[in-house]
C-alpha cells in the first residue's frame, strides 16, 4: 500500500468459487494482514446482488448482505442497495453482528475524517480546488493522458 490508498473496490468475479466481495481470505487475510491496508473496502456496483442472483453463493439478499459485511466490506457502491435494505434483517437473523456493523461504519467514517469532510471548509484543502480544474488537461492527473492521446493521434495522422 505504498501509495496510501484509503479505499479498494472488490471485483465481480470469484476466486475458487468464493465471490471476491464475500471472500474473507482476500479482504482480511491478504488485503489487511499481508498488505497492511487500513482503509475501507467498497463493493463494485451491484456486486452484492450478484452474490446470490448469479454466483448462487447464498440464497437470500440478507445472506448476501451478511456475506460481504462478514468478509470485510464497509460500503456498497450503489446498484441494488443490498446492504442498505437488508443489513437489519441479516442482524435480526444472526447472520451478522453489531460488532461487524460497527467495524464497517468505523472504516468508512475514518476515511471521511481523514479527508477532512467534517472540518470547516476553510481548513479543508480540497475545497480550494475549483470545479474547473477537475479533468482539465492542465492538471497533473490528466496531463499525461492528454499528451499520450495527442501523440497517438499524431501517429495515426502520420505526423
Q: Nine-digit cell at 30? A: 491478504
Q: Are 91 and 98 in contact (CB under 8 A)?
A: yes
pLDDT for the residue numbered 3: 80
Q: What is the mean pLDDT of residues 61-69?
A: 96
Q: Three cell numbers at 4?
A: 496510501
- Write down the pLDDT at residue 150: 47
Q: Give the residue range(s) of CATH 3.20.20.300 domains in the chain.
A: 7-128
Q: Which helix (H) or strand (E) holds 17?
A: none
**CATH number for domain 7-128, candidates 3.30.1330.30, 3.20.20.300, 3.40.50.2000, 3.40.50.2300:** 3.20.20.300
pTM of the model: 0.77
80 is catalytic: no
Does residue 100 contact residue 69 with C-beta atoms inside 8 Å?
A: yes
Per residue in 15-24, pLDDT tens? Answer: 999 999 999 9
* pLDDT number for residue 63: 97
Q: Name the active-site residue from 29, 34, 44, 80.
A: 44
- Helix (DSSP H) and strand (DSSP E) numbers for the chain: 6, 5
pLDDT value of position 106: 95
Q: Taking the mean position of all CA atoms in its chain, how far away is CA 58?
A: 21
**pLDDT by residue (tens digit) across 94-136?**
999 999 999 999 999 998 898 888 999 899 888 888 888 887 7
CA distance 136 to 63: 43
Q: Residue 34 — very low, low, confident or very high, per pLDDT cuts 50/70/90?
A: very high
Q: 147 pLDDT band (50/70/90 cuts)? A: low
Q: Which segment of 26-40, 65-79, 136-150 scores lowest on mean pLDDT?
A: 136-150
Amino acid at each position: 500500500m505504498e501509495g496510501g490508498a484509503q479505499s479498494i473496490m472488490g471485483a465481480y468475479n470469484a476466486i475458487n468459487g468464493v465471490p471476491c466481495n464475500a471472500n474473507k481470505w482476500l479482504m482480511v487475510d491478504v488485503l489487511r494482514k499481508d498488505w497492511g491496508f487500513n482503509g475501507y473496502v467498497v463493493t463494485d456496483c451491484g456486486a452484492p446482488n450478484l452474490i446470490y442472483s448469479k454466483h448462487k453463493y447464498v440464497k437470500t439478499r440478507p445472506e448476501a448482505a451478511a456475506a460481504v459485511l462478514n468478509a470485510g466490506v464497509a460500503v456498497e457502491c450503489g446498484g441494488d442497495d443490498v446492504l442498505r435494505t437488508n443489513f437489519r434483517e441479516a442482524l435480526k437473523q444472526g447472520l451478522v453482528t453489531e460488532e461487524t456493523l460497527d467495524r464497517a461504519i468505523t472504516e468508512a467514517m475514518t476515511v471521511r475524517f481523514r479527508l477532512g469532510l467534517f472540518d470547516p471548509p476553510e481548513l479543508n484543502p480540497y475545497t480550494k480546488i475549483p470545479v474547473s480544474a477537475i479533468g482539465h488537461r492542465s492538471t497533473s492527473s490528466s496531463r499525461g493522458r492528454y499528451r499520450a492521446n495527442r501523440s497517438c493521434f499524431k501517429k495515426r495522422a502520420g505526423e
